[in-house]
Structures are given as C-alpha cells and as structure tokens.
Structure 1
C-alpha cells in the first residue's frame, strides 16, 4: 500500500467537509461493488476518489468500520431522495410506487444493493448488528407509514400493518436478489411493475 501523503500541500489539495466525505463514500461504494470486501484496500478508495490514502483514513479510521459507515451513509442519502419524492406524491398509492422503486435495485450491477449484500454477509459484533437492524427497520417503518396513511384515507384495505410489511419486504428482497443475480425472467418483464401489482392487489379496498 502506498504511504499516505502528508504535509500542508496535501491538505490544500484535498476537498474538505461534506464534499470530501461524500466523495469518499461514493468511491467506497463503487470499489466495494467491483472488488468485494476481501480484496478491498483503502488505497483503492483513495485512488477512485482522487484523494490521498491519509485523507480516506481520516474519514473511516480503519477498514473494519468502513462497510457499516458507507452503508449508513448510502441509506441516509437514499432515504433523503425518497422522502423528497414522497413529499411531492399526490396519494398513498404514488408513495407506495416510489417505495417499491427505491427499494429494488435499478439494474443487475446496482452498487447500492451490492453494498447491502456485502455487508450482510459479514460477521458483526453487537454494535454492528444494532446499526444494521436500525437500517433494516427503517424500510419497514417507511412502508408502514404509507400503509397507515392509505388506510386512514380509505385508499387501502384494512390490512395488518406489521404482517403485511413483513411479507411485502420479503417479496421485494426476493425480487432484488433475482435482479442482482441476473435471472432471465426479468429480461422482458419489469420487477417494479410485478412487485407493485402484487402489493396493490391485496391493498385494494372492497369493491375498489
């Protein structure tokens, strides 16, 4: 591994604050998806981000902390964009459409979803499991909020929120794995349309 560059000149060349952290996080997501975790080096992230290895170490501290931090940052960014889109949605049905779209990988090599699979495959201590559980629960909470709103407005049927959410997320996770694996069944069919149709059939109010 190349030695970290140091000194005032290096610090002046490096981006700072949120810009630097965002660049490092995006580079890490890209490298993890490409190389996996076993072969990952901090210098790979630094090269991809156009930063020094020392600057990357400043943001992540050590490799052991890297995966969870990058995943948490990725999810926060994704949820921010989801919420911005949901705030413009005209109905709970549109919000459900957005939820499905944001949950599923956009294509077979989706870097965000690849990051999820890499992180979940690792062994984690109690703190790591707590962070992962909170991230997974975040998806459930957002879906339950959409279902609750739709039910209260009379747009959705009276379903058990917890039970429906468990089944819905399991369905979306299974489809996501199919997409990431490259199953031929999705070459001429839309995973998004299939999942949304399966969920909305059950949510249609009686006579709707």
Structure 2
C-alpha cells in the first residue's frame, strides 16, 4: 500500500480540504444521490479525523444535507459506517484486481495481496474503520455483510495459492488451511502496525509477512 496514494479503501483521502456545501432545505437529494453524497462526506471526514470523531451532523454539513435527511437514509451512525466499509472494500478490491491482472506470476500476485492487506501506516483510515465497525454489535444482516467482506479476502488469497500450486510455482499445500494461517498472521501484524509497535519502525511489515508466506509455499527442493 504505497503511502503516497490515497488511503486504501478511502478514495479521495488526499482531498482533506473539502468545502462544506450549504444546506438547501428546499432541495434535499434523494435515493442514490443522497447516499452517495453522505458516503463521500463520511469518507472525507474519516480521512481527516478518524472514525471516533465522526458525527452525523458533521456528515450532513459536509454533504450539504440536513441531519434529519442523513438519519432518514442511514438510521444511525453504525449503519453508515458499515456501508462505508463495504464501499471502501469494493474500491480496494477493484484496485487490487487491476494490479493483479498486470502481474506476471502468482508470486507477484501474492506480493500484491500482502501489500493491499496490510495497513500502509499507523492510523491507516481503512483499518481504523474496520476496527470500529467490528467492535460494534450487529444484527444478522450486518453480520452477513461483515462475513462477506472477511470471506472476500480469503477467497482472493485462495485463488492465488491455487493458481501457483497448479502451475508448480508453489508447494502442494492445503489451500484452506494455508489461507487460515496466512490471514491470521497478516491480521496480527496489521494490529501491531496500527498499535505502533516499535518493531515495525525499523523493519518492513510487508517484507516480513511476504517472506514468511513464501517459505511455506516454496516447493520442496527449491532454494
């Protein structure tokens, strides 16, 4: 995750000086327009202040909408954050797909997967959003959304490992078990990075994680 680019899954995070639109109470947007404006407003505020400081009134002011209109479309902050997270992941996965399509080998795709999975820096907006959303209590519909997002990472890694295994580039591992171990390791390293553990101030989390996965995937007899 190159830090010179907008925060992963938070498109436009570099645009942190967005001007608040005036509220026109006679012409409040509806449907997809309203939801899109609210989502973009929430994303820009998350990029600036983080999720903890996000308030529905701030989103309304940034979007040029009334707080009541925001509440009408999303009900509450928790639901809005869940939808922002889903939108964030869809954007991230599209960028990952584009990069993976240009990769020359499964090994390069594995490198990309690790790079896109790990937070780019302490305070990474996408991971901050994940942390807050996962800590909330969710109804069954919310849990299904989160399960789908988590499973999406597993499915992408499994596809890379299967391709590499079938081509003889990777060892003949149990793909499901490898994926569970790999994602658990990446999640643990991600928490370390977000916490600001000193070990990652002088070492690359990406290089460390990739080397660990490559050791397990290296075919027998290959140095």
Taking structure 1 as the reference length, what is the TM-score of the superposition? Answer: 0.85
In structure 1, distance between residues paired with 2:216 and 2:88:
31
Instruction: Considering fraction of residues, name the structure with more helix.
Output: 1
Identify which of 26, 34, 40 aligns with 1:23.
40
In structure 2, distance between residues paired with 1:72 and 1:159:
31
Q: CA deviation at 1:156?
A: 0.4
In structure 2, the residue matched to 1:201 is 215
Unaligned runs of 5+ in 2: 1-22
In structure 2, the residue matched to 1:113 is 127
RMSD: 2.3
* 1:52 matched to 2:65: yes
TM-aligned CA distance change 1:19 to 1:66, over 3 Å: closer
In structure 1, the residue matched to 2:3 is none
Q: CA deviation at 1:62?
A: 3.3
1:92–1:147: 8 Å Cα contact kept in structure 2? yes
* 1:163 matched to 2:163: no
* 1:6 matched to 2:13: no
2:38–2:63: 8 Å Cα contact kept in structure 1? no
Q: How many residues align?
A: 197
Q: CA deviation at 1:166?
A: 0.3
Taking structure 2 as the reference length, what is the TM-score of the superposition? Answer: 0.80
In structure 1, distance between residues paired with 2:147 and 2:125:
21
Q: CA deviation at 1:64?
A: 3.7
Matches within 5 A, 1:143-182: 143-182=157-196
Unaligned runs of 5+ in 1: none
Identify which of 67, 72, 81 aligns with 1:67.
81
